[in-house]
Chain A
Amino acid sequence: MKAIATTDQNPVVLPIRQSSNTLSILMNNTPGVLMRICQVFSRRAYNIDSLVVSEGRTAEYSRMTIDLSGDPSGLPQIIKQVNKLVDVIHCYKHTVQNTVVREMLLIKLLASKEERTTALQVVEHFGGKTVDMTPNSMIAMFTGSTEKLDAATLMLGQFDVVETIRTGKVVMARGNQPT
């Protein structure tokens, strides 16, 4: 955590994220494949920060995006081990520069009549949408980069947040590069 000095002497604390590595995997859409891939990581004591799996363009294949932090020195070996799995078509490591990265955040907060307008202003500022509203609560939805979602989470933290949930990163390689 890094403190930013502000004029009012009360530092605002922004989360600093470790640089992470993003892997994109194209694989057979069969039972057990998720376990096989996770096992490659867990056997080497790697912690997965986020993992998104969904059906690919055709139902035979699945897409997976894995976000990892920690020591990157073992990563080339892990990528080879993942590629070696019979069910994996390919596994690529992506950098921020050559990819589009998006995440989605849902955040539920309690907001009274008096607070609601301010909360809505914040949601709007970050390009978010209100997807549920009751007299004393609302759910806002944001999409964007990890950093943007961090900032939105920080700002809405001024209200009474009860739950947040994030999808984890999905990436797609830019231009003609395969993901």
Chain B
Amino acid sequence: MSTQKLDGAQALIKTLEDLGIEYIFGYSGGAAIPIFDALETVDTKIKFILVRHEQGATHMADGYARATGKPAAVLVTSGPGAGNTVTGLMTAQMDSVPMIIISGQQVTWMLGKDAFQEADIFGITVPVVKHNYLVKDTNDIVRVAREAYHIATTGRPGPVLIDVPKDVSSGEFTGSMDPELNLPGYDPFESFNIDHSSIEAARKLIAKSSRPVILAGQGAMIARADEELMKLATTLGCPVTTTLLGKGVFPETHDLSLGMLGMHGTAYANKAMVECDLLINVGSRFDDRIIGKPEKFCQDAPIIHIDIDPAEMGKMIHPDVQVIGDAKAALSLLNEALPSIETKDWRSTLNGYKKKYPLTYKKQGGLRMQQVIDEFYQQTNGSAIVTTDVGQHQMWAAQFYRNDESFHWLSSGGAGTMGYGFPAAIGAQFAHPDKTVIAFCGDGGFQMTLFELATAAIHKLPIKIVVLNNHYLGMVRQWQELFYENRESGVDLDGNPDFCKLAAAYGIPSVHFKRPADCQRKIEEALAYKDGPILIHAECVKYENVFPMIPAGAALEDMITEPPKTQMEKPIGST
């Protein structure tokens, strides 16, 4: 520790660097000036990226974290600056993404007095973060930053916000740069202490099964349990389906893969759920999008639930065996002595379903989003990092861009945040400058965060920005068609800009196509361009629906694989 005097902001930046933070995405403002100043006065390797809107900063940090497993930081000012991060925080919290958010704040003696750009961001963000802090003493700042990092990255990860009043950041720091953490109520290391009896109980259930299925979620990915999962699946001969966020933790091109399950999952994954005699859930929280009607979900099969978060046990589905802990630790233990079971018949049944209900789309009668996504998949050999917005294109991307590796599929699952895809791709591209990063955006979602075109252009990030434009909010339109007698309300995006001209305004080149025949050539052209971002404007057919589909709240056996002949009943389940 040098004898040079530090202020709170400088101590904070030094601490973030010490913790391994590589990037800070942010937007400046009055209350955060001392912290921005520290970025100049402290000799640091941290790279600061100026964004165009605070929501963009949070999604960039989110994309960086999902592509690496490591957190980035977000730095914003007080009031509206911090307020604009709420959607990004919620997105990260719902999907267990680590993130450190630092918000400037009014001086401590003005708190609660409606001072300029003062907002109770601590109070506002309590429901959307894993934890948060309002620092009131400069000498607490290093301990708080270290605690925040520890909390964000251990156990079930999540965003942690630190609100730093201006007098705290500019006050003199005289504390220790390596203080003891004070977290008596937080012990994430418990999760590596797996209850052996629960593992034994799981083995007994496995030994009795002949039609098992593994459901792998993001918990398996966060724990980096890919190898253990592969060993479990291949030793047992057990098919694997993943959640939307689990895509890639088990290679989707593997013979045992059933792809994604759930509302728009593959028919064979959902049929496996209905017909299995054992479900092994590794790190999925049984989201309502995958269980449909809870009381009918896997009703004849016992369930083993492995999750790091005890609060997920029995929240949606009551498991027969609960294994609380880190997925990698739990699977390593389980794999030590796996029973030998015969699953050949079961696999052949499922292979039959794979042949009977393949994922398909038409290449005639106009360009379909599925074809664009499929073409990107073929031309990149499935090796790109893919981000999405939310809606129809997201589900088609999940179906047709198969992932063979963890940390390559970045999509807002729990929160379903439109506008996530493009900024998340920026974060991912910063994390992996040499990888191909594709942002699949809808015309709706893209327009929510398109201002980050400037950020992508300035840094010459070679992102493939794919705007899948059907001039509609397609998923809502699909629901209105199926369940609301085709009454379209608030879904026609009449007034969309010319996306290519828009890109050109930022100095970004583009390709445009609307005929299926041009798809291959234009995508080749776009992928060949490496000097910076390129926008691919794919004008697609307006009326196309995502199938298979399980209406919200319906049982998995009520899945439809093609357009229904009659009007469907309104879903009674979650939205």
Query: A81 near B311 (CB under 8 angstroms)?
Result: yes
Question: Which of B180-188, B197-205, B386-394 lies on the face that meets chain A?
Answer: B180-188
Query: B311 near A86 (CB under 8 angstroms)?
Result: no
How far is A145 from B113 in the complex, measured between Cα atoms in Å?
42
Chain B positions within 8 Å of A32 at CB level: 122-123, 126, 132, 134
Chain B positions within 8 Å of A88 at CB level: 185
Whether, in the assembled complex, A77 has its beta carbon less than 8 Å from a beta carbon of chain B, the answer is yes
Distance to closest chain A CB from B351 (angstroms): 39
Chain A positions within 8 Å of B309 at CB level: 84
Query: B311 near A31 (CB under 8 angstroms)?
Result: no
Query: A36 near B185 (CB under 8 angstroms)?
Result: no
Query: A28 near B126 (CB under 8 angstroms)?
Result: no
Whether, in the assembled complex, B151 has its beta carbon less than 8 Å from a beta carbon of chain A, the answer is yes
Specify which of B185, B313, B314 lies most central, judged by the most chain A CB atoms within 10 Å of its CB.
B185
Known: A76-B314, A80-B311. A39 touches B127 (CB 8 A): yes
Query: B123 near A86 (CB under 8 angstroms)?
Result: no
Whether, in the assembled complex, B432 has its beta carbon less than 8 Å from a beta carbon of chain A, the answer is no
Chain B positions within 8 Å of A85 at CB level: 185
How far is A80 from B309 in the complex, measured between Cα atoms in Å?
9
Query: B126 near A39 (CB under 8 angstroms)?
Result: yes
Query: B127 near A86 (CB under 8 angstroms)?
Result: no
Contact of B151 among A31, A35, A77, A86 (CB under 8 A): A86
Which of under 10, 10 to 19, 20 to 34, or 35 or more describes the interface residues of A?
Answer: 20 to 34
Whether, in the assembled complex, B368 has its beta carbon less than 8 Å from a beta carbon of chain A, the answer is no
Distance to closest chain A CB from B93 (angstroms): 12
Query: A89 near B184 (CB under 8 angstroms)?
Result: yes
How far is A67 from B302 in the complex, measured between Cα atoms in Å?
36
Chain B positions within 8 Å of A28 at CB level: 184-185
Whether, in the assembled complex, B358 has its beta carbon less than 8 Å from a beta carbon of chain A, the answer is no
Chain A positions within 8 Å of B185 at CB level: 27-28, 85-90
Contact of A77 among B127, B184, B186, B314 (CB under 8 A): B314
Query: A86 near B314 (CB under 8 angstroms)?
Result: no
One digit per residue, 1 when the CB lies within 8 angstroms of any chain A CB and 0 when it does not, for chain B 284-314 equals 0000000000000000000000000111011
Whether, in the assembled complex, A125 has its beta carbon less than 8 Å from a beta carbon of chain B, the answer is no
Chain B positions within 8 Å of A84 at CB level: 309-311
Query: B134 near A31 (CB under 8 angstroms)?
Result: yes
Query: A77 near B311 (CB under 8 angstroms)?
Result: yes
Known: A28-B185, A76-B314. A86 touches B126 (CB 8 A): no
Whether, in the assembled complex, A43 has its beta carbon less than 8 Å from a beta carbon of chain B, the answer is yes
Chain A positions within 8 Å of B311 at CB level: 77, 80-81, 83-84
The chain B residue with its CB closest to the CB of A90 is B185
Whether, in the assembled complex, B315 has its beta carbon less than 8 Å from a beta carbon of chain A, the answer is yes
Chain A positions within 8 Å of B132 at CB level: 32
How far is A158 from B563 in the complex, measured between Cα atoms in Å?
72
How far is A28 from B182 in the complex, measured between Cα atoms in Å?
10
Distance to closest chain A CB from B94 (angstroms): 13
One digit per residue, 1 when the CB lies within 8 angstroms of any chain B CB and 0 when it does not, for chain A 68-109 equals 000000001100110111111110000000000000000000
Q: A residues 4-26 with Cβ under 8 Å of B?
A: none
Distance to closest chain A CB from B538 (angstroms): 40
Known: A32-B126, A32-B134, A43-B127. A86 touches B186 (CB 8 A): yes
Contact of B130 among A43, A80, A83, A86 (CB under 8 A): A86
Whether, in the assembled complex, B542 has its beta carbon less than 8 Å from a beta carbon of chain A, the answer is no
Chain A positions within 8 Å of B52 at CB level: none
The chain B residue with its CB closest to the CB of A26 is B185
Distance to closest chain A CB from B329 (angstroms): 19
How far is A35 from B125 in the complex, measured between Cα atoms in Å?
11
Whether, in the assembled complex, B131 has its beta carbon less than 8 Å from a beta carbon of chain A, the answer is yes
Chain B positions within 8 Å of A31 at CB level: 134
How far is A3 from B315 in the complex, measured between Cα atoms in Å?
40
Query: A36 near B126 (CB under 8 angstroms)?
Result: yes
Distance to closest chain B CB from A50 (angstroms): 22
Known A-B contacts: A35-B126, A83-B310. Give 20 more (CB < 8 A): A32-B123, A32-B132, A32-B134, A35-B123, A36-B126, A39-B126, A39-B127, A43-B127, A77-B311, A77-B315, A80-B311, A81-B311, A84-B310, A86-B130, A86-B131, A86-B186, A87-B131, A87-B185, A88-B185, A89-B184
Can you spell out 13 A-B residue pairs with CB atoms less than 8 angstroms apart?
A: A27-B185, A28-B184, A32-B132, A35-B123, A43-B127, A77-B311, A80-B311, A85-B185, A86-B131, A86-B151, A87-B185, A89-B185, A90-B185
Q: Across chains A and B, which 4 residue pairs bring their CB atoms closest together, nearest first? A: A80-B311, A86-B131, A89-B185, A86-B186
